[in-house]
A and B are shown apart, each in its own frame.
Chain A
Amino acid sequence: MNTRTRVFNSGIVFSALFFWLTSNLYTFAYAEDPTHLQVQTKLMGKPLVVQQNADPSVSQQGVQTSTLVQFLGINTQLMTAALELQSTTLGTTNWYIDGKQIWSGNLALQSGSLVYSGGIAPIQIPFPLFAYPLGPITLEVDAGIDFQGNLAVHLTPGLSIPVQDSSLQGTMQESLTAGGYLEGYAKLLIARAGVGGKVNLIDGSVGVNADIFFNQSPPTLAGLGKVVFLNGNVYAFVDTIKLFGQWNRVLSSNLYSWAGKCYAFGAATCTP
């Protein structure tokens, strides 16, 4: 095989690899509705989605929020919370992290308002290991989600006459920081490969302001805070060994690289 043929063949191989890597990456975001945010893309051929929702409760006397993540194709209900008005002086809230309930109970009366505030220490949600073929090596990839969240609920009565037209100003404020990670590395006798990186799934303080009416009219919801979805970087490389044990990088590529999508509501702004 002469040099020109070798170069031509290598070009085909390289082009195929490049196409394969870049075809796994596309990203779009939609929905400017502050109570229903969704950003969606793909990573390593698998869906990467973050959803942040706020909806009136079924009774119309409360509000519920949820943060859903699909990372490497695995669905995780990262955090859900609900606020329900039981009477003019009683409200309840419940709070779930990764499907586990961590709080359910009454709001406490504090300076004329009903409040709850809680936080969790950072947690790690590990995924099952999976295989990812990269060049001549199949990598064992360790992946999962790191997460920390806080929840603050606040209900302030706004009385008016007639009393049935009164409402409560409810606020559910969530501070959420979640990062998806993946790490894989393997070394054969004459080749080595790795994949790694982090995607910041959600970072910010989001929430909802709700006017909840005693007369059971549907609550009005408005978003607040600032949140950034899905910025991050995931890379891959393949090295082969040269003579005398030196490594030669034959492939280096970003599988994912994006500044993310920022939303800001109320007084908050996305500009730094």
Chain B
Amino acid sequence: MHSVTRVSLGLSTLLSALGLFHLFHKPAQSLSHKVKVEKVSASEIKSESYSFDRHIKAVLSDHAHGDRNFADIRYRGIFKIDRLDAERARITFTLDHQASAAIPFEVTIHEWTLTELKSGATKNEQDEESLNILKDFAALYAFRSQEDTSGKYDARFSKQGYIIIKEKIRYKSTLAAAVQILKSKHQIQLDSTQHTLIKAMGKETSIVRASKSSVMKTTSEYQITHLGAARPRLISTAPVVENSLISTTMALQASHSDQFIPWKTLEPKLNQIATLSAMDRLSLFHDLVNTTKKDATAFQELKGWLSSQSSNMEVRTFAIGVLVTMGSEAAQHALLDWYQQFPESRPTILNAFITTAAPISDEVHSFLTDLLDQKTSDPDPASAAALALGAALQNSNRSSDISKLQNLYQNAQNSSEQTVYLDAMGNSGNPEFLDTIKDGLAANDEMVRENAVLALRLMKDQLTHDLVEQAWTDSSLKVKSAALQVIQYQGSAGNYQALLAQCISQTPELKSTCGQLL
């Protein structure tokens, strides 16, 4: 058969089979639970925390923008609200996605005012998706606490008692999380969050599972088969949510690959590591990380293999990378053992704790804290520990570390010590350090001011922008140059056009850098 004809037949088969599948496929059984919804006044909420740990098969798609689609994801996270006063709430949201590879991230946004929530103001724009989810959460929170029914929020009770989901609900995960909030509050038993819409009817809340076929066949509204209702009801939702549901359905049919190269295949390559090129080693590193993450026995095999190779420093450096990237508590524990066992590898291990994208374990955290406390007797490891603790704040929100670094800076004996703690703060990208950094920008010592500016490099909010502009007015060329480095790190030269234009015309020493940035 001609190859083009085979292509045609293949595509025809595909489309026909999809059609047949949807024609004959029975809708999934729906389920509902009736629960009481209690009104919660704002003053009653002091602090709330919801944790969730779910393995779901799909979600998060925005086909309108064509840039998101997750499948087979495990979510673990904590959503915490602390009411500070009548107007201010602190919202902390930690979410850990695990898909084909663990991609942990954390977003902490502090002290949102309700006015800011209404205007959609953002305080941390590093991760747009996290922010969107967080804003959805904030809106749901506002809805649930009955503080606003004006329709300005993303979700609210309508007069008919429905939760109206507006366009601003961006992701299906928001719905899933909303269900989780309701579940934890009302002990609802529900086996799955996918395909879940929330419908509130007066003081009774029904959680309804949409059927696959009904989701697939409509574009503007879909019919919910509802065990608890006498007749089907129609619910309109925003296009984004519809698209999420459609892609969810598609993704449910998909099975994601969870393949990895078995240990037996990797071991011979490991035995030849000394003869491998740098790029082949990096490739082996990648495969080993992938395998050890997915196969627990491979980790044990690797540990056994390493113990026989421990005298080889080059191999050990390679293995330090594998263990720290794996990120499990067991792997990090093994690294601490090595720290004690192999003094010559200590700098490499500390560097690994700085550079890793994985969250550090509590054990490693207390190890680093102890090292930092020994700064008088052993300054170099203490500095590295400070840098690692700062970097770890990218993946966690240990408030004790924030206050510790702030205190160390305030009580530093000299400017050299101050710069170490500013460097550590810079590794965090955490805006809670902005006040301390501001203090550093006003220091007499040029080196402190320079490091204070550099500490802004991973922050992107308005205050950071203002501080960078303020730094530009500094008389020191080094401080000005640091400001340009921050702009380069942030990749936001467009926000500093006036500054850069001024630089080109008035600062010959930096003209070329400013020109490139502009």
Contact = CB atoms under 8 A, between A and B. Distances in A.
Interface of A: 3, 6-7, 9-11, 13-14, 55, 57-59, 75, 77, 97-105, 118-126, 128-131, 133, 136-140, 142, 144, 146-148, 175, 177-179, 181, 183, 185-191, 194, 198, 200, 203, 240-242, 248, 250
5 contacts: A97-B355, A100-B387, A122-B325, A185-B256, A189-B253
Contacts of A125: 357
B479 to A, nearest CB: 10
A142 B14 contact: no
A140 to B, nearest CB: 5
Contact of B14 (A129, A138, A240): A240
Nearest to B478: A58
A97 B357 CA distance: 12
Contacts of A121: 317-321, 324, 348-349, 351-352
Nearest to A36: B516
A131 B66 contact: yes
B477 A250 contact: no
A120 B351 contact: yes
| B278, B324, B513 pick with most chain A CB within 10 angstroms | B278
Given A58-B510, A77-B488, A11 B357 contact: no
A181 B286 contact: yes
Nearest to A58: B481
Contacts of B509: 58
Given A58-B509, A123-B321, A140 B69 contact: yes
Given A101-B423, A124-B286, A125-B357, A7 B5 contact: yes
A241 B2 contact: no
Interface stretch (B96-104, B215-223, B399-407): B96-104
A124 B355 CA distance: 9
Contact of B427 (A100, A140, A187, A188): A100
Interface string B414-434: 000001100100110100000
Contacts of A179: 279, 282-283, 286
B21 A189 contact: yes
B282 A146 contact: yes
Chain A interface main SS type = strand
A123 B355 contact: yes
A128 B103 contact: yes
Contact of A241 (B13, B253, B281, B478): B13
Instruction: Identify whether the interface residues of B are mostly helix, strand, loop, or mixed.
Output: helix
A241 B2 CA distance: 17
Contacts of B97: 129
Contact of A177 (B70, B279, B383, B423): B279
A190 B13 contact: yes
B356 A10 contact: no
A76 B465 CA distance: 20
Contacts of A189: 17, 21, 253
Interface string B307-344: 00000000001111110110000000000000000000
A148 B100 contact: no
A124 B18 contact: no
Contacts of B21: 189
B283 A198 contact: yes
A194 B70 CA distance: 15
B359 to A, nearest CB: 13
A109 to B, nearest CB: 16
Nearest to B488: A77
A97 B509 CA distance: 26
Contact of A99 (B72, B102, B419, B489): B489
Contacts of B256: 140, 185-187
B70 to A, nearest CB: 6
Interface string B246-265: 01001001111101000000
B289 A124 contact: yes
B352 A120 contact: yes
B292 interface: no
B282 A122 contact: yes
Given A121-B321, A177-B278, A131 B69 contact: yes
Contacts of A181: 286
Given A186-B254, A187-B257, A200-B279, A13 B11 contact: yes
A124 B458 CA distance: 19
B116 interface: no
Contacts of B61: 131, 138
A51 B103 CA distance: 27
B14 A136 contact: yes
B457 A129 contact: no
A140 B60 CA distance: 11
A198 B478 CA distance: 39
Contacts of B384: 102
Contacts of A6: 5, 8
Contact of A124 (B13, B255, B325): B325
A147 B352 CA distance: 12
A77 B489 contact: yes
Nearest to A84: B478
